[in-house]
Structure 1
């Protein structure tokens, strides 16, 4: 791909899922938002902070609906489109569904970005949708001060295959399917400090579709699934803990990391979203007294198109982990367990 005339990341005040509102701010905004209420067909709404809405259409079919968009975290427009599309489709997979259609969401500063650059962004998104086997069936575009791109995605699944983030059970094991550190890498990109090999690693993980979620949801041993995105590993683990009324314990040494994540974090390449995340939910997380600051920042690092966090029966964890690895998620690891109690503990 030809380099864009203007660095996309220079036009945005944030990038990727690091653009998300802080968890505490989102809670305040949604505090008075009604949940399922009288709509018995609405199986999943806003009540659990889940990845997508789920509507039961009939006895055999649920409709899954989600939307996700953000500002660029990379300068290559084609790669930006690929990452944004992969991230948006992930929400359907995280609910246990199969995507069937997408609509593009596009906002561009038309006085700063060439039409060819915009075409490349859309082409990247379309390429990922083709890989997922779905069309981009339409969309909406506006003139916007900062570049924004994403998708609204529709999927389907059977009612018994819906997997919320609120059904983990004490005794479950936790599996993470992708390495973390994407936010750290994106911070390094903005400062021109990420080597070519690091960029290759980041693109590989952020454009890998989480389609394994559709298969995992068919397994009765898998109780809860969510994808790890803007709130970081600890934030999304806490959503599972809150929704399931349980406690999650994470072994930090077992959390898979991108190859250069530790060295970059130790050098200070972290995002502002990492600190906002910790300020929002740190009071509900127990860290070891000797936990270094760089490790905490990695555990709160905002992921873009991150992996799935899976809660499954402890006795089945080895089998399920192998299924995930065999599907191409080489970085997948068991990272902890679910227990009675509340909050998240890091060992």
Structure 2
């Protein structure tokens, strides 16, 4: 087959109006879109559906197995084709891990401007995704491709979990400790990268973070004292933290000083790289978040910064904190940290930043 793409290709990020999980439809808009949809059938074996905006659907197969099913895809967050594929695949598999599951296979979702990008570039994207799946021990068993105006890549990801060990974002209990597995600031740094204004050291840290599989999730699923889990992605730490609070029916408190951040995030934010998605997240979730009076606009922007392939947010009993942190360390997550706690039950749950 002859490759008809031009010899000089545009940067991948120049072909997308947004990148990574910052492409998500704003939460408030999505809620309005879905409000008039037909109430779905809820079979008895559907253990997790759309009720609490969780990371994946879970279907009970039998007494010992449940199927975890999810999909995720987006436009380029970086210009390197292989890295784009790796990041998108890592992000998609994260939803399986966030439910306490172990991936079993993936299907590729591919939309590419075939007259703009070379076959070699498109192949490198798919190769990057396949490499991540291989690292997770699963095959890319099929997929679907279309010719699209913007590059799109992602996966349908399937996994298995014991029905008694499913972790949702709705199980946090009063007194639990919150642990965050990765540093935040991905959206801000990727914005700086897209404009060619991200220092090489910060770019290296960014890529290392967003291509690190959230494999601790499967082991955390085995710990009974882990009561809730989600991954922090497009709605930012603020949005996903509030979703956990609402799903669990409890107020949640996060100590802002304890939240780990990628290097260069505050500097990039100060240079004007806060994303539009951050503002949309605040517009959707801000009414449910209490901020200290001295928290400035830049910090608020970081709180709601969309995270592509972000870290796991775990709620566990205090006595399990050591085991949870040790599990993260065993998988190479050196920046995992306790960042907050679950407060009392509430009829109108809120996220408090202190």
Question: TM over 0.5, yes or no?
Answer: yes
C-alpha deviation, 1:269, in angstroms: 1.1
Partner of 1:320: 324
Partner of 1:271: 275
Distance 1:248 1:182 in 2: 23
Pick one of 40, 44, 48 that aligns with 1:40: 44
Render the CA deviation track for 1:125-150: whole Å, top value 9, x for unaligned. 00000000000000000011111000
C-alpha deviation, 1:300, in angstroms: 0.5
Contact 2:49–2:58 (CA under 8 A) maintained in structure 1? yes
Partner of 1:310: 314
Partner of 1:346: 353
- Give the 4+ runs in structure 1 shifted more than 4 A: 32-38
1:48-63 map, 5 Å: 48-63=52-67
Contact 1:35–1:47 (CA under 8 A) maintained in structure 2? no
Any idea what SS the aligned residue of 1:163 has?
coil
Render the CA deviation track for 1:262-300: whole Å, top value 9, x for unaligned. 111122211110010001110110000110111111110
C-alpha deviation, 1:5, in angstroms: 2.4
Pick one of 224, 230, 235 that aligns with 1:226: 230
- Give the unaligned 5+ runs of structure 1: none
Pick one of 134, 139, 144 that aligns with 1:135: 139
Pick one of 5, 16, 20 that aligns with 1:16: 20
Distance 1:231 1:31 in 2: 19
Distance 1:277 1:231 in 2: 6
Instruction: Please give the root-mean-square deviation of Cα atoms over the aligned residues, in Å.
Output: 1.3
Partner of 2:239: 235
Pick one of 184, 191, 196 that aligns with 1:180: 184
Distance 2:274 2:184 in 1: 13
Any idea what SS the aligned residue of 2:169 has?
coil
- Give the unaligned 5+ runs of structure 2: 1-6
Contact 1:36–1:45 (CA under 8 A) maintained in structure 2? no
Render the CA deviation track for 1:142-195: whole Å, top value 9, x for unaligned. 011111000001100110110010010010000000000110111101111011
C-alpha deviation, 1:29, in angstroms: 2.1
Bigger Cα displacement from structure 2, 25-34 vs 127-136: 25-34
Distance 2:37 2:329 in 1: 39
Any idea what SS the aligned residue of 1:224 has?
strand
C-alpha deviation, 1:67, in angstroms: 0.3
Partner of 1:296: 300
Indicate whether 1:162 and 2:177 are aligned: no
Distance 1:4 1:66 in 2: 36
Bigger Cα displacement from structure 2, 20-29 vs 115-124: 20-29
Partner of 1:171: 175
Change (3 A) 1:32 1:156: farther
Distance 1:80 1:117 in 2: 11
What is the total number of aligned residue pairs between the two structures? 345
Pick one of 191, 201, 204 that aligns with 2:208: 204
Distance 2:231 2:34 in 1: 20
Contact 2:9–2:116 (CA under 8 A) maintained in structure 1? no
Any idea what SS the aligned residue of 2:110 has?
strand
C-alpha deviation, 1:30, in angstroms: 2.4
Contact 1:4–1:117 (CA under 8 A) maintained in structure 2? no
Contact 1:92–1:98 (CA under 8 A) maintained in structure 2? yes
Distance 2:327 2:337 in 1: 12
Contact 1:36–1:44 (CA under 8 A) maintained in structure 2? no
Indicate whether 1:124 and 2:128 are aligned: yes
Distance 1:182 1:38 in 2: 36
Change (3 A) 1:113 1:218: same
| TM-score (normalised: structure 2) | 0.95
| TM-score (normalised: structure 1) | 0.97
Pick one of 85, 95, 108 that aligns with 1:81: 85
Indicate whether 1:66 and 2:38 are aligned: no
Distance 2:326 2:96 in 1: 22
